[in-house]
A and B are shown apart, each in its own frame.
Chain A
Amino acid sequence: MEQPVLNVSGLETHFFTDDGEIPAVDSVDFHVNKGEVLGIVGESGSGKSVTSLSIMQLISAPGKVVGGEISYKGENLLLKSEKQMRKIRGNEIGMIFQEPMTSLNPVFKIGNQLVEGIRIHKKWNKKDSWAHAIKFLKLVGLPRAEELMNEYPHQLSGGMRQRVMIAMAMACEPDVLIADEPTTALDVTIQAQILELMKRLNNETNTSIIMITHDLGVVAEMCDRIVVMYSGKIVEQGTTKEIFESPKHPYTIGLIESVPDVRSRKERLYSIPGNVPKPGSIKTGCHFAPRCKFAFDKCFEETPELMDAGQGQLARCWLHEDKEKAALLEKVES
């Protein structure tokens, strides 16, 4: 099998606050293969954004990556100096963010911001970089690309800005693109366009994409494989098909159930009771146990590891220790 482009293992990112050390990302393992789209799903506070910023090493104080390995093409990014990381950011690994409204610098022209990254990494002259930037603005489907180069972000709509962000992240042809909630702040119709665009870029350039989102619709649309995160830990991992057809963790089941379905009009929309616990607040047992309808004594006493839930699917749930208990999950689904 081909070696994954990016392999994260045992990643630990902790925040050192006045309330003590908070494990925002707690021994997270996953990998991304060449040309693959991996979805990282979770509610806010589950640690998915911190995971992506850890890969880029853009975690700022009081946060710190305290353990694990992030291996990109066989090299551990955590051992790289700031200078070496700068050569990777934007060049090998590109990133787009949730808020296209605030992610572009309001006081510089689009062209200036696009060309900046190209000039840093490709070391081209101004003219070539400018032409390259225009090429990418066209690639992401922006009309009047030449004129846009001389406009400021506030003159563009949200969807256009997100396209600019994508062009910026793709301009140096990275091998991995990390998209942190790229469509959350956009209108539904624009969302679909942006997803379509990312899918096309994935097909055309064979760039691997890590899609971070809380939106299962986006995941179903885009991803080959899914990692579900809850309270800093991965709770389930599998292919998109497997996870949507037979989720193996009660949390994933809850997530899927809470997606509104137009065809079956339920009285009330399902929601998982309770809130995501503050990372670090649950010391023993499964972090999801207090909200889980399947929870039994062991769940509150011992923290489960990721275990095989059949067909290569992994779930962090004690139910899978025992075939009979695991069968409970099947019942709920049907």
Chain B
Amino acid sequence: MLAYTIRRLLMLIPVLFGMTLIVFFMIRAIPGDPAQVILGQQATEEAIKSLTKQLGLDQPWYIQYVDYIKGLFTGDLGTSLRTSSEISGEIWPYLAATLELSLVAMVIAIFIGVNAGIISAWFQNSWFDYTAMVLALVGVSMPVFWLGLMEQWAFSLELGWLPSTGRENVRNPVEAITHLYLIDTLIQGRMDQFVEVVRHLILPGIALGTIPMAIIARMTRSSMLEVMRSDFVRTARAKGTRMFWVVYKHSLKNAFIPVLTVIGLQMGLLLGGAILTETIFGWPGIGRYIYDAIGFRDYPVIQSGILIVAVIFVFINLIVDLLYAAIDPRIKYN
């Protein structure tokens, strides 16, 4: 297991190397010049030239690339062109915001999705099954931005129950320690702020969690239906086991591998692809951070932001692969 993990981590190097190369060229293929964007439409030719030189963008591409890679090896993610500060120093709060939102969304999605899938399979062709599967179909088909806007309209504008944007009550700001506000407010014992943070998480959490929830529910249902026809399920029933345990113990553990795969993929997508949700809900996350950087042609931020998202994605997949072996004793990594 340890040897396998190390091998997988070593395999990360060429993957990430290739990825830096692709991102490096793709962002330079976008029309627009960082110096021009920073200085504005009225800037003189001279000014643009000198800023380009100052930013190091007058160097040939391979020198720029080698400098970038050298930096990465020393843990230097580069300097933002826009804010002139170290990216490694400013990226964590954004990342933390995204992590917190994605985890909340995923917990909701897994809890409801897995249970809905199980119950649908258990009572196949019942009204619950039909309702859940129609809702799941609606869920996967629903554009996130539309769902988000409808939530804001209904629960903020019309009913006024929940805040529509942001991570916290700006008049009662959270004092950041880890930048994961749920944890920060608990550490400080600020229950009032904790409640506020939870209230801010609900709408974007649901918006972000709906699609994964629907996908997880459908996958759980089909996987459970298949497993529940197995011989060992009949054996368990012939032993006198309660149907609840036949379903939640004997069947679920066998049916969970494909569900876990979907959960891993969706988690990766949430972390990198929450841009729409983050934009609609004014969530200061990594998606917004990269999105804004693209507008400014802030090459170093785009490069490093995408790199970090990719690393997280690959790590989640590794964790999922290791969990397979924990669930199914027949899977061995040697």
Contact = CB atoms under 8 A, between A and B. Distances in A.
Nearest to A154: B330
B119 to A, nearest CB: 17
A105 B238 contact: no
B74 to A, nearest CB: 45
Contact of A103 (B235, B240, B243, B328): B235
Contacts of A300: none
Contacts of A106: 232, 254, 328-330
Contact of B240 (A105, A107, A120, A154): A120
A117 B328 contact: no
B232 A102 contact: yes
A86 B238 CA distance: 8
B234 interface: yes
A107 B236 contact: no
Contacts of A117: 239-241
B236 to A, nearest CB: 7
A241 to B, nearest CB: 32
A95 B238 contact: yes
B327 interface: yes
Contacts of B231: 97, 99, 102-103
A198 interface: no
A64 interface: no
Contacts of A30: none
A284 to B, nearest CB: 35
Nearest to B238: A95
B242 A105 contact: no
Contact of A121 (B230, B234, B240, B330): B240
Contacts of A102: 230-232
B309 to A, nearest CB: 33
Contacts, number: 70
A90 B240 contact: yes
Interface string A106-135: 111000000011001100000000000000
Interface in B237-268: 237-243, 250, 253-254
A165 interface: yes
A56 interface: yes
Given A103-B234, A107-B328, A154-B329, A90 B239 contact: yes
Contacts of B240: 86-91, 117, 120-121
A168 interface: yes
A94 B240 CA distance: 9
A104 interface: yes
A94 B231 CA distance: 15
Contacts of A82: 243
Given A58-B234, A99-B231, A120 B239 contact: yes
A152 B239 contact: no
B290 to A, nearest CB: 40
Given A105-B254, A107-B254, A97 B237 contact: no
Nearest to B243: A82
Interface in A44-95: 56, 58, 82, 86-91, 94-95
Given A89-B238, A106-B329, 20 more contacts: A56-B238, A89-B237, A89-B239, A95-B238, A102-B230, A103-B231, A103-B234, A104-B235, A105-B232, A105-B250, A106-B232, A106-B254, A107-B254, A107-B328, A107-B329, A108-B250, A117-B240, A152-B329, A154-B329, A168-B239
